[in-house]
Structure 1
């Protein structure tokens, strides 16, 4: 019975304040070194998908300051790159910019979802950093 009341309270808080209270935006300020490569991308969040769904970054062996400008069309989206601890809420027809410092290589999943996490059912994009 106690679990029910905890669940009810948590659900009420999320409904009244929105998921952003429990899962705030996370965007790390990028203190990029002067020699860092600068890269910019534009993305559209539409129908809970990110377009383009594949982004490739060549760091050329150094750090890269990556700036992604995302526009949400028609609905509220949550842009996230979980492995880089990035999350940004986008209201309908809003544009936001996310900056991060790419210092390691790898392939990272990202998503433009309706929830603050990427579920197995969501369409995922790939960010390849070399």
Structure 2
């Protein structure tokens, strides 16, 4: 498995924080702020890991997840959300997410999470 990561999140600060920290580990990181942009990127760029926000301005990452996994079954998806009530996590994992990352998150654990989902 390669080292290409896409982040789909509408919060620019979260995107930059993830990109900065993941780049330190040698990952090629791209981010977009909407589902539509994410779909366009996935169509033309091989991607190994996707950080997918559940609540986006143009749709639900949670609702898009089954279709993403259908079209890109090898893609490892890490859902991220500020809404960590347990139900969101359960829905994300049931829909095919490899991991659920609640916001705020510990950037020190990012490498561990990536290694875990890629193994």
Q: Say which structure, 1 or 2, has more relative contact order (CA 8 Å, 6+ apart).
A: 1
Q: Which has the higher helix share?
A: 2
Larger radius of gyration: 1
When normalised by structure 2's length, the TM-score is 0.27
When normalised by structure 1's length, the TM-score is 0.25
